[in-house]
């Protein structure tokens, strides 16, 4: 086997191995001679329908085919021969057995990339040791449609402890923040199932190191979540998976009959939980819909820093907001998409990455207000103001306006990308009138002026 790789050549004429090419046409690398060439010959023979040559070759290889399979031609014949001779399922399974680490081994070094909480608490230790007697730590990675229409299995991996039928679990969704009740539920697992290809088998419990499908949680989990024991109130969630795939095209759908709108809304919710299916037939009960032609998704951006500072006044003329926009440094939008930089990160870690890799000032890196759109997108607002009083009074309104603007865009109603918005140092006169009114209301308008668009934000 060692001679199949590297600088090892075999010449069938002399029947000798060498470490250098001899110049003979028959002298080829070991892998080419003994692996590639036989496969190529079989494929060419199948595609040329040379069955008088193919059948003796298969007989020498110990491959038997049924009588009806021998009548196949072209691609169908090639596919069937390769499935019988070199089944990919067996090769993949053996590769997984030989090369994939066991959960007990893998979780020792992966815990720091899995767990969002302190790495010295009992939950991190249980994940690290793959402890079946430790607290339950389970990550739901996908929702699988069940045979009952509208219902889903919550499928995930048990990292520590065990999950059992009728067990009460604490569900922490992707928007859960430790110490708060947002996106947090406590519910019973109706049934635990082992998923084996097309078959499912109900079991009493599933220990750590295994995957499991659970019934009864689909109403509280959209796509992914972390599950723990009911009493483990101080546990932190497992890090959510990051998907860097963006849609290439998008379509708009609407109901032909207005009364079917609730079915459309419910169908879209179900579709978001699972792999793409037929929306009309599988999730809307056959209600008729109209689908627009596919439209390619674009992104809006800027090429250089604004040539002037935009200023907006509140209706009472007391408050002025100055804003500039510039293009982000090369590679920064990709780093945000990959999850290396985010608002929930440790400010010191975020500042270190921005200063060392993208040339930011460390103090400025700590003054990021938000990312957008959807609070995680590749656009940011950075506070460039100095010596401005009551700036935090308008922060919430500015952030809300930024989320809307970065999602809808200024030119083509497409998402913005790679833009850094900077409230300027000229921002001033945020007077006590703001505090006296005890609150803010935002109004954003998009106006077109000749070939330019101006976005105006009012703090009322």
State pLDDT tens for residues 190-220: 999 998 877 889 999 999 999 999 999 988 8
How confident is residue 447, by pLDDT bands cut at 50, 70 and 90? very low
Q: What is the pTM of this model?
A: 0.64
Residue 277 has pLDDT above 80, yes or no: no
At 244 the pLDDT is 58
Chain centroid to CA 24: 51
Which of 138-142, 209-213, 237-241 has the weakest average pLDDT?
A: 237-241
Residue 276 pLDDT level (bands cut at 50, 70, 90): low
Confidence band, pLDDT 50/70/90 cuts, at residue 395: confident
- Band the pLDDT of 108: cuts 50, 70, 90: very high
171 or 453: which carries more pLDDT confidence? 171
Over range 412-420, report the average pLDDT.
Answer: 90
* Mean pLDDT, residues 111-115: 92
Confidence (pLDDT) at 282? 57
Summarize the confidence of residues 390-406 as an average pLDDT: 86
User: Which class is domain 300-458?
Assistant: alpha beta
Please give the average per-residue pLDDT across 391-410, as a whole number. Answer: 87
Compute the distance between CA of residue 266 and CA of residue 285 in angstroms, rounded to an integer.
11
**At residue 449, does pLDDT exceed 70?**
no
Residue 310: pLDDT band with limits 50, 70, 90: confident
Residue with tokens 């101080």: 234
Select the more confidently predicted residue: 49 or 441: 49
Q: Which residues contact 378 (CB under 8 A, 6 or more apart)?
A: 328, 332, 333, 334, 336, 337, 371, 417, 418
Task: Give me the pLDDT at residue 281, please.
Answer: 55
Cα separation of 314 and 427, whole Å?
12
Homologous superfamily of domain range 9-94: Yeast translation eEF2 (G' domain) (3.90.1430.10)
**CATH 3.30.70.870 holds for 249-296:** yes
Produce one character per residue of 120-143: b if its CB has 16 or more CB atoms within 10 Å, e if not: eeebbbbbbbbbeebbbbbbbebb
pLDDT confidence tier of residue 411, bands split at 50, 70 and 90: confident
Residue spans of the domains in the chain: they are 9-94, 103-229, 249-296, 300-458
Q: Is the pLDDT of residue 435 over 90?
A: no
**Residue 140 confidence (pLDDT):** 94
Mean pLDDT over each residue of the chain, to the nearest integer = 83
DSSP 380-447: EEE----S-TTTHHHHHHHHHHHHHHHHH-SSSS--B-SEEEEE-TT-B---THHHHTT---EEEEEE
Question: Could you tell me whether strands 205-207 and 368-372 are parallel, antiparallel, or unpaired per DSSP bridges?
Answer: unpaired
339-352 mean pLDDT: 85
Confidence of residue 322 (pLDDT cuts 50, 70, 90): confident
What's the rounded mean pLDDT across residues 9-36? 83
Between 257 and 458, where is the model more confident? 257
Look up residue 279 and give its two tokens.
Answer: 């929306």
Residue 155 has pLDDT above 70, yes or no: yes
CATH code of the region 103-229: 2.40.30.10
Question: Is residue 320's pLDDT more than 50?
Answer: yes
Whether residue 92 has pLDDT greater than 70: yes
Q: Which residues contact 299 (CB under 8 A, 6 or more apart)?
A: 414, 415, 416, 417, 418
CB 191 within 8 A of CB 203: no
| Residue 208, phi then psi, degrees to nearest 5 | -65, 155
Sign, CA torsion 209/215/219/222: positive
Give percent of the chain above pLDDT 90.
32
């Amino acid at each position: 086997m060692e001679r199949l790789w590297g600088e090892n050549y075999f010449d069938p004429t002399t029947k000798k191995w060498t470490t250098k090419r001899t110049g003979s046409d028959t002298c080829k690398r070991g892998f080419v001679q003994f692996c590639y060439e036989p496969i190529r010959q079989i494929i060419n023979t199948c595609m040329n329908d040379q069955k008088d040559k193919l059948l003796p070759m298969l007989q020498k290889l110990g491959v038997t085919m049924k009588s009806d399979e021998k009548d196949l031609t072209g691609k169908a014949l090639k596919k069937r021969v390769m499935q019988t001779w070199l089944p990919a399922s067996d090769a993949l399974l053996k590769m997984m057995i030989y090369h994939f680490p066991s959960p007990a081994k893998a979780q020792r070094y992966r815990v720091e990339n899995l767990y969002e909480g302190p790495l010295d608490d009992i939950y991190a230790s249980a994940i690290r040791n793959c402890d079946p007697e430790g607290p339950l730590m389970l990550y739901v990675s996908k929702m699988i449609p069940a045979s009952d229409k509208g219902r889903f299995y919550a499928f995930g991996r048990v990292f520590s402890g065990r999950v059992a039928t009728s067990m009460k679990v604490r569900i922490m969704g992707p928007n859960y923040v430790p110490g708060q009740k947002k996106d947090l539920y406590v519910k019973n697992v109706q049934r635990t199932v082992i998923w084996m290809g097309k078959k499912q088998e109900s079991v009493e419990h599933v220990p750590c190191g295994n995957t499991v499908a659970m019934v009864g949680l689909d109403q509280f989990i959209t796509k992914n979540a972390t599950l723990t024991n009911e009493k483990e109130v101080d546990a932190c969630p497992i890090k959510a998976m990051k998907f860097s795939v963006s849609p290439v095209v998008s379509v708009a759908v609407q109901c032909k009959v207005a009364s079917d709108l609730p079915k459309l809304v419910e169908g879209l919710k179900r579709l978001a939980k699972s792999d793409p299916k037929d929306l009309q037939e599988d999730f809307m009960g056959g209600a008729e819909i109209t689908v627009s032609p596919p439209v390619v998704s674009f992104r809006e951006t800027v090429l250089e820093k604004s040539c002037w500072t935009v200023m907006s006044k509140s209706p009472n003329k007391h408050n002025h907001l100055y804003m500039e926009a510039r293009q982000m440094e090369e590679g920064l939008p990709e780093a945000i998409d990959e999850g290396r930089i985010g608002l929930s990160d440790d400010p010191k870690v975020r500042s270190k990455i921005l200063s060392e890799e993208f040339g930011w000032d460390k103090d400025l890196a700590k003054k990021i207000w938000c990312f957008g759109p959807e609070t995680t997108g590749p656009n940011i607002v950075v506070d460039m103001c100095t010596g401005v009083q009551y700036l935090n009074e308008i922060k919430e309104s500015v952030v809300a306006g930024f989320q809307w603007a970065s999602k809808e865009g200024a030119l083509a109603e497409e998402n913005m990308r790679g833009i850094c918005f900077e409230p300027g140092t000229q921002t001033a006169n945020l007077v006590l009138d703001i505090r006296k009114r005890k609150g803010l209301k935002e109004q954003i308008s998009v106006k077109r002026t000749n070939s330019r668009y101006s976005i105006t934000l009012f703090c009322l």
